Amino acid sequence: MSTTVAQAGPASAGSADPLKERRPLGDRVFQILALASGLLVLVILVWIAVSTSQQASSWFTTEGWKIFTNNWNPAANDFGALAFIYGTAVTALIAVIMAVPVSVGIAMLLTEVVPYRWSRPIVYVIDLLAVVPSVVWGLWGILVFAPWLNHIYAHIGSAVQGLWILGPLFGPPTSGASFFTAGVILAFMITPIVTSLSREVIATVPTIDKEGAYALGATRWEMIMGAVWPHSQGGVVGAVLLGLGRAMGETIAVALVIGSSAVITSHLFAPGYNMSAVIANQFGEATGVFRAALFGIGVLLFVFTIIINVLAHGVVERSARRKRGA
C-alpha cells in the first residue's frame, strides 16, 4: 500500500488530464484484466456461499432448529449436527492450547535469543513442518502415533479414574483414535503458521524499546515481558485466531485419527467426530437430505472460519496500524 505511483502515473490522473485520452487499448485491457482478477476473489467467496447454501437448503428447511441437536443417524433421517460442532470446537481448542505457547516460545527464541545466522536454519526446520501434507500426518497419525498414544491414554485413564474433573476428562473409555489425538496432530500442523505470524509481529518491536529495557538493567526475560510482549500482544492474538481457524478447517488428518464416532462426551481420550471429517468420510455415500445435511455442515464451517479469519486479520491489521502510527 505504500506506493504512491497512483498519483504519479497517467492512469489515475484527473479526468481533465489530456494524457487520459491517449491511453492505448492494450493499457486499458491490462487494467481491466487486473481488476477482474482482483474481483475474482470476491466472486469466488460469494459464489461458494451461494452455491453451497442452495445445496444445503433442504436440510435447513426439513430440520429447522433440529440441526443444532445431538442426534446424527442418517439411517433414521436424523441430521442433528451438534456433535460435529462440539468436536470441531474441542479439537481446535486442544490444538491451540498446545501450539500457542510453543509457537510464541519459538518466535521469541528466533527474534530475541539466537543470532541471525542460527535463526534461518531454525525457520527452515519449522517450515518443513508446514510442507508435510495433511494426509501424511493422517497416515502417520493413525498407523504409528495413535497405537503408541493408546498405551499412554490407557495408563493415564486408569490413574485418574474417579478423580474430580480429571476423571471425566481423561478417564476411560480411551482409544488411540480420539479427540485428543486429533488435537495433538492439529497442534503440529498449526505451529508453523502461528510461529511465523508471531515472529513477524515480534520483529516489529522497536529496537530502542528493547535497548531501553536493557539499559535499565533488565535481564533478557524482563526485557521480553516489559518491552516486547506489551508491544506484540495484539498481533499474537491475531496469530492465535488464525491458527484456530486453520485447526477448525483442517480435514484429512483429522478424518483419519479422530475415531469417527458422533458423540458429545467430556472424555477427551474417546473417539469423536468433527465437521470437516464427517463431510470427508460420509459425502461419498450421501444422497437427498443426507447430502444436503453434509453441505449444511460445510456452510456452517465456512461461516465459522470466515468469522474467525475476519476477526484475526482485523486484529492483526489494527495492531499493525497502531504500530505505524506510534
Binding to other proteins (CB under 8 A) within 60-99 occurs at none
What number of residues does the chain have?
A: 326
**Residue 134, interface with other proteins (CB under 8 A)?**
yes
Is 130 or 160 the residue whose CB approaches other proteins more closely?
130
Residue 51 or residue 266: which is nearer to other proteins going by CB? 51
137 binds other proteins (CB under 8 A): yes
Look at residues 187, 58, 240 and name the one whose alpha carbon lies nearest to residue 232: 240
Give the C-alpha separation, 175 to 180, whole Å: 10
Pick from 270, 202, 187: nearest CA to 232: 202
Residue 272 engages other proteins in binding (rule: CB under 8 A): no
User: Shortest Cβ distance from residue 320 to other proteins (Å)?
Assistant: 12
Strand pairing of 78-79 and 72-73? antiparallel
Subset of residues 277 to 296 that bind other proteins, contact rule: CB under 8 A? 279-280, 283-284, 295
Q: How far is the CB of 270 from other proteins (least distance, A)?
A: 19
Q: Compute how many other C-beta atoms are within 10 angstroms of the C-beta atom of residue 237.
A: 17
End-to-end CA distance of the chain: 18
Binder among 186, 256, 292, 293 for other proteins (CB under 8 A)? 256
Query: Distance (Å, rounded) from C-alpha 213 to C-alpha 273?
Result: 48
Regarding 301 and contact with other proteins (CB under 8 A), the answer is yes
Among 78, 288, 317, 321, the residue binding other proteins under the rule CB under 8 A is 317
Smallest distance, Å, CB 42 to other proteins?
6
Q: Which is nearer to other proteins, 98 or 268 (CB)?
A: 98
| Contact status: 17 vs other proteins (CB under 8 A) | no
216 binds other proteins (CB under 8 A): no
Rounded distance between C-alpha atoms, residue 260 and residue 91, angstroms? 13
Residue 167 Cα to chain centre, angstroms: 30
C-beta of 163 vs 310, nearer to other proteins: 310
**What's the grid cell of residue 205?**
518491536
Residue 110 CB coordination number (10 Å): 22
Site for other proteins in 170-189 (CB under 8 A): 188
Q: How far apart are CA 297 and CA 279, in angstroms?
A: 8
Q: Of 16, 76, 131, 165, which lies in the binding site for other proteins, with binding defined by CB under 8 A?
A: 131
Residue nearer to other proteins on the CB measure, 83 or 292: 292
Task: State the number of binding residues for other proteins (CB under 8 A).
Answer: 102
Q: Does 118 bind other proteins (CB under 8 A)?
A: no
Which of 93, 213, 234, 306 is close enough to bind other proteins by CB under 8 A?
306
211 near other proteins (CB under 8 A): yes
Whichever of 55 and 62 has its CB closer to other proteins, that residue is: 55
